[in-house]
Amino acid sequence: MQPLSPFSPPEPRTEDGVVCWRDAIVASPEGFRPLTLDLFRPAAATGACPLIIWIHGGAWLSGTNKRESPELAPARIGDRIIAAGYALARVTYRLSGEAVFPAQLHDVKAAVRWLRHHAEPLGLDPDRFAVWGESAGGHLAALVALTGTAGSPDAVQAGVLWYAPSNLLSMDAQNHPQSPLDHNAPESPESRLIGGPVQLLPEEAATASPVTYATAAAPPLLLVHGDDDRVVPDGQTRELHELLESLGAPVELEIVPGADHCFTGGDLTPLVADGLEFLGRSLPG
């Protein structure tokens, strides 16, 4: 087990009815930039809040925890999460140009441990942590959910996975007929994540694939994907759902007709509502 972060939370500020801790340092991997997160909690909360940990996408190559991707921004996901009574943590992780897998997973787990360690002063319920990720962030959310052991400091109790890669070895075979991407190419995002061509590094690819860690003990997961996704094939979500379902794990699947990556061509508003409703009935308590 990795040690708990020695870093303390910064002083909070209250903005528009929300208590904010910005750029909190959760870890400082040797030779790399410090890892930070932004935490938001409803100022009106009278008790410990359940927490949603948002993990951004960007093909593991780019992205920021400061905002959702442009395609998702109109849905005001963060505002809706906080309005529903949740605290929201937006985490960072090393990108594939900085470090190969499993650095990204270690970084997100470090954030989960830091949040749980400081749960009391931050006003968080340590028994009600959920992950919510999109694309590459959904992949990391799946890994956090599936590799956490119940009761461990980096475990989460539920997750929402949006259009997430689940098996790097099957991505290209499942590709959309009109996708311009070759997921097996040496410079593909998946190959860059693991440090070499996917099909030439099957062990590394499997280690980085959520399907490898599927068990009946998985926490409740909601898997959502557009059936016209030309970046991450919807077969990735169907494959993980079928596997978890066969194991008897608590998993739900939502396919969005006509939606491309980032749900382009679909309606985001009900999808956010679906995620919040799922977490509302899946988190304990």
Position 5 confidence tier, pLDDT thresholds 50, 70, 90: low
Percent of the chain with pLDDT over 90: 95
Average pLDDT over residues 71-94: 97
pLDDT for 65 equals 96
User: Residues 259, 227: contact at Cβ < 8 Å?
Assistant: yes
Say yes or no to pLDDT of 221 above 50: yes
Angle between helices 103-117 and 136-147 (to 10 degrees): 60
Higher pLDDT, 1 or 285: 285
pTM across the whole model: 0.97
Tell me the pLDDT tens digit for each residue of 103-160. 999 999 999 999 999 999 999 999 999 999 999 999 999 999 999 988 899 999 999 9
CA 18 to chain centre: 23
Tell me the pLDDT tens digit for each residue of 251-271. 999 999 999 999 999 999 999
CATH superfamily, region 13-282: Alpha/Beta hydrolase fold, catalytic domain (3.40.50.1820)
